[in-house]
Structure 1
Amino acid sequence: MLRCKLVLPLALAAALALSGCQNTTPTQRHTATGAAVGAVAGAGVAHATGGKAATGAVVGAAVGGTVGYLWSKNMERQKQELERSTKGTGIKVTRTDDNRLKLNFPADITFNSHSAVLRPQARTVLNSFANSLRRNPTTQVLIVGHADSSGNAASNETLSLQRANTTRSYIFSRKVQGPRIQTEGRGAREPIASNYTEAGRAQNRRVEIFVMESK
C-alpha cells in the first residue's frame, strides 16, 4: 500500500510536469498528458488486482502515452486531398507519430521577415485547406507559429502568435466555424535549421498546422 502511495504521485507528477513545460512541443505535451492519465489508471488496476503498484503505473503510463488521435479513412482521405492541392508549393503534408495530419508552411510562401501578413501564395493554399475543413467538420486544428532568432525573445513570441492568429483569421474568413481551431506561438524556441544563415532563418520562420480526430 505504501508503494502505491509513493509511485502513483511520482508517475503522475513527472508526466504532468512535462505536459505543462513551455519548452516541449505540442506533441510532447499531449503524449505526457496521456502518460499521466495512463499512470493513474495503471496504478489503480494494479492495486485493485493485488499487483504491484510500480508495475501497474509503468504499464499504465506506457499505454496512456500511446493514446493519441484516430487515424481513420477520413484522415487518410484528407491527407491525400491536401497532398494534391499543395503539390509543387513547397508545403509538406505528413502524418505524425501520434496520428495527426501536419502541414508545414515555409517562409517563402507565408510571411516575410518580421511580418505577420500572409503572402498571396499562402492564401491560395489556405483556400484549399479551408475547403477540406468544411468537408470534415469533426476534425480539430492547432496552428503553431514560429519565428527566426533575428528579434528578441519577447518580440519573437508575439510575432509567432500573430502569425498563427493571422492564419486562423484567414481560415475563418473562408467560412470555417468556431473553437475547433486553436493557435499557439512558439517564438524561436523550435528551430528546424540554423539561425546563422538567411536560408536557415527562412526555414524557421514558418507556420505548422496540425489536424486531428479524437478517439
Structure 2
Amino acid sequence: MRTSPSSAVPALRRAGLVALIATAVFAAGCASMSERERGTAQGAGIGAVAGAVIGSATGGKAGKSAAIGGAVGAIAGNLWSKHMEEKREALARASQGTGVEVARTEDNRLKLNVPSDVSFDTGRADIKPQMRPVLDEIGRNLDPKVHVTIVGHTDSTGSDAINDPLSRERAAAVRDYLGARGLAASRMSTAGRGSREPVAGNDTEAGRAANRRVEIFLSEAG
C-alpha cells in the first residue's frame, strides 16, 4: 500500500516530534551521565531519529520505528565498555593534582596526556617518581582485550637527530616500566613523534613544556 503525499505529512511531523524529544532528553541527561551512559544515550537518540524518519518516509509507524532505531542506536553508542569507564575513573583518581589529563577520545580510546613536569626531565628518558602511580594504575586489573599505545613527544629545541630518538626512548621507558609490572609486550606498542606534533607554540617556555609529553592510549578490541 502506497502512502499518499497528504498522509505522509502527519507522519513526518511525528518524526520531527520524536527527533525533538530525543534531543531534549539527551541534552537534559548529559550533565549527570557517565561517559558510558552518554554514549548509550547519544546512540539511542540518533537511532530513534533515524528510525522515525525512515519509518515515516516508507509508510511505517514513526513511533515504532523510533523505538527500534533507538534500541539499535543504543547498542552502537555503547562501544565504551564498563571496564573502560572504570579504568578512566581509576586513572583520573590516580592522577589527580598531577596535571595528567585523562579523557575519552572520539574513537572510544582512553587517552592520558602526561606533561613533562610529571613524566621526564628535559633531554632525559628516566621516568619521574610522580608518574609511577599513574603507570601502576594503567597495568592494574587491565582487561586482556585492552591494548596500550605509548607515543613520545619533544619540543622543537634541538634537531630531529636528537628529538626523534629521545621521543622513542621516552615511549620505550614507559613500555618497559609497564612490562616489568606484568603487562605483556604483545599488548603494547610505541612510537616517537619528535617535535612534529606540538600542542602549543615553541616560542615560550610554557609552550615547550606542554610539547614535551607522553601520550598513552588504551584501546579495547571489538
Compute the displacement of 1:155 (Å).
Answer: 1.4
2:110 equivalent in structure 1 = 101
Q: Deviations over 1:39-65 (max 9, x none)?
A: xxxxxxxxxxxxxxxxxxxxxxxxxxx
Whether 2:160 is the aligned partner of 1:126: answer: no
Q: Pick from 178, 190, 201 the counterpart of residue 171 of structure 1.
A: 178
Contact 2:160 2:194 in 1 (8 A): yes
Query: CA separation in 1, counterparts of 2:114 and 2:141?
Result: 16
Greater shift in the superposed pair: 145-154 or 69-78: 69-78
Compute the displacement of 1:115 (Å).
Answer: 0.8
Whether 2:194 is the aligned partner of 1:182: answer: no
2:99 equivalent in structure 1 = 90
Structure 2, unpaired ranges of 5+:
1-75
Contact 2:152 2:168 in 1 (8 A): yes
Q: CA RMSD in A?
A: 1.6
Contact 1:70 1:212 in 2 (8 A): no
Q: Which runs of 4+ in 1 moved over 2 A?
A: none
Q: Percent identity?
A: 50
Contact 1:70 1:214 in 2 (8 A): no
What letter matches 2:198 in structure 1? P
Whether 2:209 is the aligned partner of 1:213: answer: no
Contact 2:148 2:217 in 1 (8 A): yes
Contact 1:106 1:205 in 2 (8 A): yes
Compute the displacement of 1:178 (Å).
Answer: 2.5
Contact 2:170 2:214 in 1 (8 A): yes
Instruction: Figure out how many residues of one structure are paired with residues of the other and give that number.
Output: 146
What letter matches 2:118 in structure 1? I
Query: CA separation in 1, counterparts of 2:87 and 2:102?
Result: 10
Query: CA separation in 2, counterparts of 1:74 and 1:127?
Result: 17
What letter matches 1:82 in structure 2? L
Query: CA separation in 2, counterparts of 1:152 and 1:100?
Result: 32
Q: TM-score, normalised by structure 2?
A: 0.63
Q: Deviations over 1:145-182 (max 9, x none)?
A: 00111010121111101000001101111111221100
Q: TM-score, normalised by structure 1?
A: 0.65
Q: Secondary structure at the match of 1:82?
A: helix
What letter matches 1:154 in structure 2? A
Whether 2:145 is the aligned partner of 1:112: answer: no
1:80 equivalent in structure 2 = 89
Contact 2:148 2:188 in 1 (8 A): yes
Whether 2:199 is the aligned partner of 1:192: answer: yes
Q: Which has the larger radius of gyration?
A: 2
Whether 2:152 is the aligned partner of 1:154: answer: no
Compute the displacement of 1:83 (Å).
Answer: 1.1
Whether 2:210 is the aligned partner of 1:203: answer: yes
1:8 equivalent in structure 2 = none
